Structure 1
Amino acid sequence: MTTRRTEALSRARIVEAAVELLDADGESGLTFRALTQRLATGPGAIYWHVANKGELLDAATETVIAQAVDHPQSGPRDGIRTVALGLFEAIDRHPWLATQLALQLSRSPWGTVTPRIFESIGRQVRELGVPEAEWFTATSALVHYILGAAGQNAANARSAAPGADRAEFLDAVSKVWEALDPDEYPFMRAVAAQMREHDDRAQFLAGIDLILGRITR
């Protein structure tokens, strides 16, 4: 959709439009030509604010993450759960985000995204009374679980057949698990029904609670 520009173009509006394009068409859909059409402007106005696509992807990632972790805190344990769920839902809503986060954390951990995520979790870990020598390890364990589990959940949702009903998909998978060889896969057969009935967010938060239980023990 092309919009008529009625006010001075800002970097924030450019990043907002970039997020919209990424959500609609993925990284391949984010081009400066598409941006100029959406913002009803010329490429020069965009290049005034951002130098290239890499900078734009970084800015889009930073913006989404800032919104995801910006929640009122009500105690460190609830604070961690709130931030974790915010990141989980952001990755679920924005299919391109998991890949960009992996790149940011490995390629440029000195950028703004990695410190923002670690600060939002680490500050709560500190308030839990964890010994200072264990702050980084405990926070890293939580961050790696959050991003890994959220990314896998988003990948699972994308891999399902287009338009497929989640309950039908899980039922089909569980039936395959139940039909596995009982001698070779006794565990998979035993949990097939649990997988069919599980709630993604509840399961995700259960994992957070398991890690918090170990951290605070």
Structure 2
Amino acid sequence: MATIGPDETPARPADRRGGGAGAVWLREDPERTRRAAPLTRERIVEAAVALLDAHGIGGLTMRRLAERLVVTPTALYWHVKTKDDVLDLALDQIFGEVPLPTSRGEWRDDIRMLTSAWRTEMLRHPWAANLIGRPMLGPNVLSCTEFLQSTLVRGGLTGVRLAVVTRLLANFVIGAALTDATWRQIDDPGARAGARRHITSNPARYPTLAASGHLDESQWVDEDLFVRGIDVILTTPASDRT
């Protein structure tokens, strides 16, 4: 049997890939490694987004967040001070999932791509729209807003017109996402059809709504209405862009 000198290091079976009998005891336990990993703000935000997706804003508590991370609530406060901190970080994380167009093509196309992606992410995380209105100064939010405004500037908008159209687009995306997400959360597949029947059963009272197809899914798909709405905002006459 070979001996090992004082300056030599023995081979480590755990470094080998695969393994036979007994190899399981020479590999690190992935679950134990995950739990032992240092708590970071990134891990906190990831867990918070998962909780918000599953339970909504009311279902997020610091205690529940700590349980998900397998830490004590006190450990969280080394990284965040309040639940508001967590909500702000989670919301900014959602904006980080919005891909910014890189082609810098026709400016209206870039706006359409940005707003459609923004709406998609807000529908994936339906709690997010309810948090809009908080001071939004996170890096991802500001990057999206910077891209939005710089693209509008490429389209010739300046001054108050730039401010107005920026707000129109942002509010339209948020409102559309909030409305669409609310309908999707109603646990009744016939809810929209029932609302439409309520209108059409009262044509004398709601003649325009009955005639226009309001809430009629067979005529108007949410995605199509959203895209057309963005086009309406973007087709403001150039003479108004002052």
The question of a shared fold, defined as TM-score above 0.5 by the shorter chain, is answered with yes
In structure 2, what is the Cα distance between the partners aligned to 1:31 and 1:101? 19
Determine which of 114, 117, 125 is the counterpart of 1:94: 125
Cα offset, 1:25, TM superposition: 1.0
Structure 1 position 83 matched with structure 2 position 114: yes
Determine which of 147, 172, 175 is the counterpart of 2:174: 147
User: Counterpart of 1:58?
Assistant: 88
SS of the equivalent of 2:126 reads coil
Q: Which runs of 4+ in 1 moved over 4 A?
A: 109-114
Q: Which runs of 5+ in 2 are unaligned?
A: 1-30
Q: Which has the larger share of helix?
A: 1
In structure 2, what is the Cα distance between the partners aligned to 1:193 and 1:148? 17
In structure 1, what is the Cα distance between the partners aligned to 2:64 and 2:73? 10
User: Counterpart of 2:211?
Assistant: 190
Q: Which runs of 5+ in 1 are unaligned?
A: none
Cα offset, 1:136, TM superposition: 1.3
Structure 1 position 138 matched with structure 2 position 165: yes
In structure 2, what is the Cα distance between the partners aligned to 1:212 and 1:6? 51
Cα offset, 1:176, TM superposition: 2.0
In structure 2, what is the Cα distance between the partners aligned to 1:215 and 1:20? 43
User: Counterpart of 1:203?
Assistant: 225
AA paired with 2:66? T
How many equivalent pairs are there? 206
Change (3 A) 1:53 1:179: same
In structure 1, what is the Cα distance between the partners aligned to 2:92 and 2:230? 23
Cα offset, 1:45, TM superposition: 2.8
Cα offset, 1:34, TM superposition: 1.2
Determine which of 26, 39, 43 is the counterpart of 2:69: 39
Larger Rg: 2
State TM-score, norm by structure 2. Answer: 0.75
AA paired with 1:173? A
Cα offset, 1:113, TM superposition: 6.6
In structure 2, what is the Cα distance between the partners aligned to 1:146 and 1:74? 21
Percent identity for Structure 1 against Structure 2: 30
AA paired with 1:208? I
